[in-house]
Every structure is written in structure tokens, then in C-alpha cells.
Structure 1
Amino acid sequence: MFSLDKKTLALMLFSLLLAFYAGVKYAGFIQSGKPAATIFLDGGESLTANAEKEEEGNMYIEVYVGGQVEKPGVYRLPKGARVYQAVEQAGGITDRADLKYVPLARILEDEETIWIPSPEEVTGLDSSYVSTFYTSGGNNAGKVNINTASAEELAAKLNGIGPQLAKRIVDYRNQNGKFKSIDEIKNVSGIGEKRFEQIKDQICVR
């Protein structure tokens, strides 16, 4: 009578179990129409997790809140959030805040800056300048003094001046002393004649 040793029997049993497992996985693939295995990207993140992260990113915005708030910084809020919610995230206003011209009910946009001014910053402003907190008249009322303004203030109040360019302005001032005229700001790398035309009515030196 034909007989098998224990080693051969064990090998056959293992092969049968392996074939059964493969059949179950294949049946699951056919039934669901999806591969049973998870596909991973470089770095170990799965495609599913990556898609979920992208979807989540589309649901939120990030804004900078500065000026007269308790905790200036960048904050993440859901799309459709309003200015007052960003201010709340930043710990609320200080006792030096002047909210007269701050549009608290306005819907926020991604990557924008919210600046809460002090009473001195809004002195003489007209309500038509609600979102910028400066005037473009012939005097210096409400204009940004580039000899004293912080990088955050420059980025928040000047057209076309982002955080990096604002930092360059402050660095130039620290290295060369106070600006003697507004035209001198053109010596800062990244500020040419075109950009100067955008901001010349918004700045002053004192």
C-alpha cells in the first residue's frame, strides 16, 4: 500500500492551505472589484491615507493673525470661517485693540493676514479703508512708518509685500540704519520700480 512520510504530508498540507488562502483572496478581489492589498507610496503612506489627507486639506484654510491679539501666529480654520473666529483662535484681543474698522463678520480666505490695529494705527482713517488700515492721502496719517514697522506689520499692510520681503526690509533697516526717504526702500532686494509704485502711497519715514 502507498504511504507518505510525515515530511511529505506536512508539505502537502501546507500547499493546500496556501492554495486555499490564495483562492479566498482572489474571490474577494473579484467580488469587490478592488485589490485586496493596500498600495503604499514612497515613505510608507498608503494611497488611501494620502487621498484622505488631500480631502482634509481642501476643507481647511490657514491665516496669520497679528497686531493686538494675545497670541499672534498662523492658525488653521475650516473653510467659511470668519474674521472673529480667527481672532478667537489667537486668544482674543488685547486691551490695546481698536476694532472700529475690523470686518469681524467677513469670511476668511486661505493664506490671508488679519491685522488687529491699535488706536494709533487707525487715527484719521476713513471707513472705506476697512481692510487695510491706512490712507493714501498726501499726509502721513495712517501710513506705515518703514523705520519702525515690524515684518509682520509690513506684510499685513503693504500691497504685494509678503513675509519674506517684509523680513528683507527689516534686515536692511537693521544693517543700514533708518530709511532717509521712502525711495530708499528700492535698495531692498525684491523691490523694484513696479513694486515701489504699489506701496509708495502707503509708506512714510519719520
Structure 2
Amino acid sequence: MRLLLTVFLCFIILSSGKFNIININQYSKSSIQVTVYGAVLRQGVISLDPYATIQELLSKAGLNENADISSLNLETILHDKDVLTIPTKSSDISVNLISINTSDLNGLLQIPKIGEKTAQAIIDYRNQHGLFQILEDLMKVKGIGQAKFDFIKDKICL
């Protein structure tokens, strides 16, 4: 019965004459543009192949001697227009900003007023939508409103 229904629907769609063949290649990108700041030798926009990882970005940008990549997941796949800040090593922890784009669950838990549920929601958002483009995008995550964002915005970076 299901097969018959499928064949019938295909027949109706094909006989209607209201479909166009499209070239899917026109919608695929040959490169993505990612902006990188922080402890890299080459800051700014870097062109990469689609589905490039943070590791590939760092290979092109180069790390300076202060770079601290210990909290980064180097296998994270980047998307067009992603923005990344590579943290620096520092003995003064209060100066370090926490990256909402690269921190793991434990790193995100270091942000004041961010609990485990909200930290996981940030990671889930990144996995679904790609990296945050601007800090204010963090308010798209369930559990982070204007008041919480205003409280933490000076403690985070991309």
C-alpha cells in the first residue's frame, strides 16, 4: 500500500509539469571565510575549504608563543563567517576571557551565573547553528536573557 501511494504521488508530481531541474553546484561554496583574533600571527579573515576544522585554521593563521589552545576542540568544524578568538596564556586568571565558541562544558561553567544546563545549551546551540558571530548571539540560547548577558558580557569572548 505504501509503495502504491509513493508511486501515485510521484506520478502526480511529475505529471504536473511544475518542477525545475536545478544545478545543486551553484549552491555549494568553494571556500568559507572565518575571522580569527587573539593569540595568532595572522589576525583577520582567513579563507578555508568548506568543513575545515579549527586545527586547519590555526595552521593557516599560525599561533604566537602566548597561545593557549588547551581548551579548544581542534576538530570543531567551522562554518562560513565564523569568528574565533584564540586565548592567551596568563597567570592572572581574572584577565582571561572565556570563549563561548571554543570552551568545553567545564570551561563554560567558569562563566558566572552559567550552570550545567545552560552550558550544555550553549554547546548544543553551537553544534546546531555553528559558532556565534557576535557576543549578543548568546542570547539566542535558551536560559540567557538580556540581564544574564549584561552580567557576563565582560567575562566572555568569541
TM-score w.r.t. structure 1 length? Answer: 0.39
When Rg is computed on C-alpha atoms for both structures, the one with the higher figure is 1
Structure with higher RCO (Cα < 8 A, 6+ apart): 2
